[in-house]
Every structure is written in C-alpha cells, then in structure tokens.
A and B are shown apart, each in its own frame.
Chain A
Amino acid sequence: MQSVTANEEGTTLGIREIVERIGATHADLIPVLRAITDKYGYISQPAMEELSGLMNLPTKEIHSVATFYRMLSTQPRGKHVVQFCESAPCHVVGGREVFAILKQALALEPGQTSPDNKWTLLTTSCLGVCDAGPVILIDTDMYGNVTPGQVKEILSRYE
C-alpha cells in the first residue's frame, strides 16, 4: 500500500485507469473516490490534484467530497481497519463492555493507527445487522454477537 502511493507515477496511471473505467462526470466522483480508497487505502493530495485535471473539477471540491463520507479516507490507514458500531442497538446489548476491551487490546483510541501500521481503530454508525449486536467490522469481515471474551481471539486471526 505504502510503496504504491510513494510511486507517484504508478498512482497517476492507476487513477487514470479508474477514471476511464468509471467515468469523468461530476456524478462519477464518489464512485471514483471509493475505487481510489479501495485500491490505495486513502486519497492522497497528489491523487486529488490528478483527479482535478482528469475530471475538470476544482481540487477543493474533490477534497470537500472526500472528507464528507465515512467510507472515503484522506489519511493513510493501517493494514487492517477495525470499525466498531457505536449506535444504540449495539450499545445496550453489551457494546459498551466490548468496546472497552477492544480499545485495550489494540491500545488505540478511535481514530488512531498503531505505530506498526497494523491497525486503525474507528467507530462507525449503524451497519444494519442490529439483530446480532454488538458488531465489529474488520476490513470486510463482519463479526456479530461479539462478547468481551472473543475480542482477542478475533484479532489474532489477522496478521
């Protein structure tokens, strides 16, 4: 992930390819930004400048959209992104206790990335699987009915 973004020429080509595939109208901006987040982990400043030229939009417009949506990131994230649902349905069925253990196990507060770049911890609003709360989303794997005792074991599955 890191090496790809460092290689700016590669990024430029990658972004061109994404825009060609999805489209260059204003309505394509959010799908394009999601594809960039998926591919590079985040949307870098050079990426936004490149997009500005390709999509004929001011960089500030791209920045303002990129910072609005939760699934887009303008900051580098760790190898694994752990998202904890902090909405009420998960909270009242034990989410409070699970979150305390999760923060302790990762030694992170929400929004932080671990020094070894392995983990980023985020809180999220409802993920829509509320009959199985508390819910933790790690990358694209969803864990439901999590108990405080399971947190360590779940985290140990990720390298």
Chain B
Amino acid sequence: MKAARSMILVSNDPESNVRGSEKIYAAFQEQLQKYGLTEEVSLSMASDLGYSYASPLVLIYPEAVIYGPINPIDVPNIVEEHLYKGRIVEEKRAPAHELSGKVAWLSARKGTLPAQNRVVLKNVGLIDPENIDDYIASDGYQALGIALQKTPDEVIAIIKNSGLQGRGGAGFPTGVKWGYVSKTFGDKKYVVCNADESEPGTFKDRIVLEGDPHAIIEAMLIAAYAVGADEGYIYIRGEYQLAIQRIETAIKQAEEYGLLGKNIFDSQLNFKIHVHTGAGAYICGEETALIESIEGKRGEPRSRPPYPTTNGLWGKPTLINNVETLANIPAIIRNGAEWYRTLGTPSSPGTKVCTILGNVNVTGLIEVPMGITLREVVSIYAKGMKSGSFKLAQTGGSSGSIIPATLQDTPMDFDSYKRMGVSLGSGALLICNDEVCIVDLAKVLLNFFKVESCGKCTPCRIGTKRAYDILTGISQGQGTLEDLDELLALNKELLELSNCGLGQTAGTPLRDMLNYFRAEVEAHVRLGVCPTGVCPMHA
C-alpha cells in the first residue's frame, strides 16, 4: 500500500449502487487524474458505510467527513475544494444526526483537528482495519519480530525504560506490572486486554479497536512473550458491536497468517486469543471484576491482595492492560524507549488520547503529548466554547475530577495533576460552560455511581445512594448546611472504606464541588436559588 495523504471511500451497498455509486467512483477517478492526485489519494469502494438514508455517500479520511447523498455532478467540486484546496464542502455533508455505529469515526464536528502527535492512533482511519496486509504494510507485526529476537527480560526492560504508564486511569507503570507477572512462577499465565471501556465520555479504546485491531493483537503477543503467557482474552463491552466484529476478523486473519497459534515466527511462542463480550456493567472495567465476569460470574471486584499478577484468571498469574496502553507497545518496541521519552513530560512520557466533549465547537478525539493544558485543548482543538464561557472540565467517569477554569493552565500529566489534587482519569474532557449547574452535574455523576455500584460492599452501595439523595434535596431547595458536611464525610467514608476504585472515587465530585464551587452550592442552600436556573427549586 502506498502512503496516501487522503482516502476516499464510496459506499457501494445495493441501495447506493442503484443510485449510481459506480458513476461516482468513475467521476472521482477522472477528477483525481485531472488534478494529478492519483498518487496521494487512495480511492476505494466500501460495501456498506451504514448511512443508508443519505446514500450514495462518500467518506473522506483523515478528516472523516461524510458527504451524502452525492451525485456524480458533485464530484468535481468536492475534489477541487476538499482534496485540492483542503476546504470541506459544508453544504454536501450528510446530516450528522444519525449514527449507525458502523463507521469508526463519527463526524459530529464542524471542522477538522490540527495535526497531532499520533502514536496510538497512528493507523486509525488510514488503513483498512479489516485487512491485515494494510497493517503489515504500515510496519505492522514488525515490533513482534524485533521483540522475539530479544529475551523476555530485555523486552520488559524496554517497556520499563520507556516510562509508559497504564492509560486506563490509574497510571500504574506498565513495565513494572509486566515484571511482576513475568517473575511469578506458574505453568499457565494469561494476558488480558481490558476493553470494557465504560467511563462516561470515553470512547478512545473503541476507536482504536475499530480502526487498528491488529495493533492490539500484536501488543498482546509481545506481552505474552515477555511474561510467558500462552493464552489471552480481550474483554470488550457488549455495546461495541463493530469493535467486536473487527477484532474477531483480525484474530481470524492473524491465525491464517500464523501470527497466532503455535511456534509463531518459528519461535517457542504459542498464543491464542479469545474475545469475551461484556453484558453491560461498568464495574467490569475494574480488573478483578473483569476476571470474575470472564469466569461467568457477577462482576464483583475481589478483595486485593492477592493481585491478578499472581492470582488472576482462574487463579493463574494474569497481566491486564488497557487498550490504549497496549496500543503504545508496538511503537515503543519499534522505536525504542529513548524515542518514547522524547514525547510528553519527563514524569509522564508519551501521548494521551483525549476525547473532547461538551459545550465546545468541535467535539471528537485527539492524541496529544502528555503535558498539554486545558486552555490549549479548549482554544486550539475544541475551537472555543459554543456558548457561554468555560466554567469547568470533568475528566470523565470514576477516575476523574472536576477541574475549575482556574486550573486550566496546569499541564495535563499524571504528576502535575496529582500535585493539584485532581486526576486525569481516562482522558475524557467534558468541557462545561457557565450554564451548567455544579449541583446538577454532581447529581448526575453520583447517579451514575449509584446505578453502577455492584452492591458488594456497604460503604459504596449505601454511600452513593445517600449522597445522591442529599444532592437531590439540595437541587430542590431543601438542603441544609449540615448536608454539606455530611457530603464531605461521605466522601471520606467512600474513599477509605470502599473495596474498589469505583467506591473510592465516587465521592470525588462531592469533594471537588465543595472545594471549588462552594459559593454556588451555598446559594442553593442558604438563598434557595440555583444561580444557573437549572435546578427545580421548590423552596
């Protein structure tokens, strides 16, 4: 495959075909030739892009712009404007209201994002994720070959030296974790890829799985070699139908090429991968709950220690890594630890895939070096606020924090954020304007924890419910100042007494709310007024 600057896909499902997709294809061929773009722009037919209401449609990467319905007479204009001059033809874009879940990149955004630093997303949107040859042509499975020429300890040393930290939210050093599993004695070990991405606002792992599934397989193979495992599981949340389908196709192709199976690359490495789909439970992203779920039980976290590195799946030593963490591995092996350390900050090397959401002009996915600031994200990548002014950012799900506008110049890396007492979480950046009420937001967040608490331990089961009820009272003008003290006490109890990360961080919104926005909360309590007019005050 030649390195193409852009990729054009023309839908060719039966409906599009009836409506003239072949003529559109021919028109593109002709126009690309006219502008001398045939070398830099690839053109292909795609079976079904899943937007049948606007067919025939044309999808252009890397901008992921969806045009439709398209006539052959529209083609010259699209080629001239979009591919030659680089301007998106707004009036031809397909309505962005409907999603089928079949297209990897959603185009809810109005523009395109500027050049980023792509390691994890290197291939996403640029190669055909259902074709292993495309991946191989983009340096795919090269890292596996390099790793197999080293000893497992050398591979682990590279990952350790790279400084890669787990991207699931906790930021644990990946190489150290690999070392633990490698050193544990056992006749059977497992490598598990945690793709149960359920943090609200986070969908980076879905994009990687849908756009570059072979990278995950390659990374799991390298991990298996390093720690001495011969079997792997990918635990994908059940809602990610397309990701499941793509990874299953990728596994089949890798097996056909002898990249999964026995004596891979004529080495001693044997490895097979199973796909396990979840059934809808946020808690299964917690690694011991995930293990329970693979074993066919309720997804309730185990008591730790022992940790999965020694007693994991079916009691065997198990390495569990997040999708984004694994997606970094092939690049690190190919380019070396030193190269990886040139990205990001000294304490948090590498890049971070962030999702930008909320009241901004451009929502979507970016991969940026660690250490970028929120102000840069909002003004450069999100192209500013859609309405109102920037009030706060919520970093998503249980592992994040509420970050007020006053902290927007803090570098986003694990260390700097830890010093400010906030957490980067999974990289979801929910940008909220001044029309968002802090009490209402905290109520929504606590409702999430209340619903998703597995109920195994009491502080979490009762504490999240109690906190939600208090917040509901405050939002209805029935709060008291004692309630605020109780919320802080609940946060402390949740943090100190809960069994797993869900409960331990469930109180974070309460703490952040009272830390940064106490005046707004007190307005609800003392004056019976919701300053933003969101809460249904009855007092």
Contact residues of A with B, CB < 8 Å? 25-31, 33-34, 64-65, 68-72, 86-89, 91-93, 96, 123-133, 140-146, 150
Asked if B199 and A126 make an inter-chain contact with CB atoms under 8 angstroms apart, the answer reads: yes
Chain A residues near B357 (CB-CB < 8 A): 89, 93, 130-131, 133
**Total number of B residues with any Cβ neighbor in A under 8 Å:** 60
Closest chain A residue to B237, Cβ basis: A128
Q: How far is the CA of A132 from the CA of B98 in the complex (A)?
A: 9
If A70-B279, A86-B444, A133-B357 touch, does A128 touch B296 (CB 8 Å cutoff)? no
Asked if B109 and A89 make an inter-chain contact with CB atoms under 8 angstroms apart, the answer reads: no
B298 to chain A, nearest CB (A): 4
Q: How far is the CA of A123 from the CA of B444 in the complex (A)?
A: 12
Asked if B202 and A143 make an inter-chain contact with CB atoms under 8 angstroms apart, the answer reads: no
Q: Tell me, yes or no, whether B441 is within 8 Å of chain A by CB.
A: yes
Further 6 A-B residue pairs, CB within 8 A, beyond A132-B99, A142-B101 = A25-B296, A69-B281, A126-B201, A126-B397, A131-B355, A131-B363
A64 to chain B, nearest CB (A): 6
A120 to chain B, nearest CB (A): 15
If A27-B295, A28-B296, A88-B394 touch, does A125 touch B356 (CB 8 Å cutoff)? no
Asked if A68 and B203 make an inter-chain contact with CB atoms under 8 angstroms apart, the answer reads: no
Within B364-401, the residues touching A (CB, 8 Å) are 364-365, 394, 397
Q: How far is the CA of A93 from the CA of B357 in the complex (A)?
A: 9
Asked if A92 and B97 make an inter-chain contact with CB atoms under 8 angstroms apart, the answer reads: no
Q: How far is the CA of A127 from the CA of B240 in the complex (A)?
A: 8
State which of A27, A130, A145 has its C-beta within 8 Å of the C-beta of B201. A130
Chain B residues near A123 (CB-CB < 8 A): 451
Closest chain B residue to A70, Cβ basis: B280
A42 to chain B, nearest CB (A): 13
Asked if B430 and A127 make an inter-chain contact with CB atoms under 8 angstroms apart, the answer reads: no
B364 to chain A, nearest CB (A): 5
State which of B97, B294, B394, B454 has its C-beta within 8 Å of the C-beta of A143. B97
Chain A residues near B282 (CB-CB < 8 A): 125-126
Chain A residues near B441 (CB-CB < 8 A): 88, 91-92
Which among A33, A88, A131 has the greatest number of chain B C-beta atoms within 10 A? A88
Chain A residues near B278 (CB-CB < 8 A): 30, 69, 71
Q: Tell me, yes or no, whether B189 is within 8 Å of chain A by CB.
A: no
A77 to chain B, nearest CB (A): 14
Q: Tell me, yes or no, whether B61 is within 8 Å of chain A by CB.
A: no
If A88-B441, A93-B358 touch, does A30 touch B293 (CB 8 Å cutoff)? yes
Q: How far is the CA of A29 from the CA of B295 in the complex (A)?
A: 9
B314 to chain A, nearest CB (A): 9
Closest chain B residue to A71, Cβ basis: B280
Q: Tell me, yes or no, whether B106 is within 8 Å of chain A by CB.
A: yes
Asked if B444 and A87 make an inter-chain contact with CB atoms under 8 angstroms apart, the answer reads: yes
A90 to chain B, nearest CB (A): 8
Asked if A88 and B200 make an inter-chain contact with CB atoms under 8 angstroms apart, the answer reads: yes
Asked if A30 and B432 make an inter-chain contact with CB atoms under 8 angstroms apart, the answer reads: no
Within B66-122, the residues touching A (CB, 8 Å) are 96-101, 106, 108-109
Q: How far is the CA of A145 from the CA of B97 in the complex (A)?
A: 5
Asked if A131 and B448 make an inter-chain contact with CB atoms under 8 angstroms apart, the answer reads: no
Q: Tell me, yes or no, whether B445 is within 8 Å of chain A by CB.
A: yes
If A125-B282, A144-B97 touch, does A69 touch B299 (CB 8 Å cutoff)? yes
Which among B238, B428, B440 has the greatest number of chain A C-beta atoms within 10 A? B238
Q: Tell me, yes or no, whether B407 is within 8 Å of chain A by CB.
A: no
If A72-B280, A92-B359, A125-B452 touch, does A86 touch B238 (CB 8 Å cutoff)? no
Q: How far is the CA of A133 from the CA of B197 in the complex (A)?
A: 17
Chain B residues near A146 (CB-CB < 8 A): 97
Which among B98, B197, B237, B295 has the greatest number of chain A C-beta atoms within 10 A? B98
* Nearest 3 CB-CB pairings of A with B: A70-B280, A87-B200, A69-B279
Chain A residues near B241 (CB-CB < 8 A): 140
Q: Tell me, yes or no, whether B447 is within 8 Å of chain A by CB.
A: yes
Chain B residues near A86 (CB-CB < 8 A): 444, 447-448
Closest chain B residue to A133, Cβ basis: B357
Q: Tell me, yes or no, whether B198 is within 8 Å of chain A by CB.
A: yes
Q: Tell me, yes or no, whether B538 is within 8 Å of chain A by CB.
A: no
Contact indicator per residue, chain B 440-458, by CB within 8 Å of chain A (1) or not (0):
1100110110011010000
If A69-B280, A92-B358 touch, does A128 touch B99 (CB 8 Å cutoff)? no
| 18 A-B residue pairs with CB within 8 Å | A26-B297, A30-B279, A30-B293, A34-B238, A68-B281, A70-B281, A71-B279, A86-B448, A89-B201, A89-B358, A92-B430, A130-B200, A130-B363, A131-B108, A132-B108, A132-B363, A142-B100, A145-B108
B434 to chain A, nearest CB (A): 12
Q: Tell me, yes or no, whether B206 is within 8 Å of chain A by CB.
A: yes
Asked if B206 and A128 make an inter-chain contact with CB atoms under 8 angstroms apart, the answer reads: yes
Within B423-447, the residues touching A (CB, 8 Å) are 428, 430, 432, 436, 440-441, 444-445, 447
Q: Tell me, yes or no, whether B277 is within 8 Å of chain A by CB.
A: yes
Q: Tell me, yes or no, whether B239 is within 8 Å of chain A by CB.
A: yes
Chain A residues near B281 (CB-CB < 8 A): 68-70
Chain B residues near A141 (CB-CB < 8 A): 100
If A26-B295, A129-B106 touch, does A33 touch B201 (CB 8 Å cutoff)? no
If A89-B200, A126-B199, A143-B98 touch, does A29 touch B108 (CB 8 Å cutoff)? no
B236 to chain A, nearest CB (A): 11
If A125-B200, A129-B106 touch, does A144 touch B358 (CB 8 Å cutoff)? no
A52 to chain B, nearest CB (A): 14
If A69-B280, A128-B240, A130-B200 touch, does A88 touch B296 (CB 8 Å cutoff)? no
Which among B109, B279, B436 has the greatest number of chain A C-beta atoms within 10 A? B279
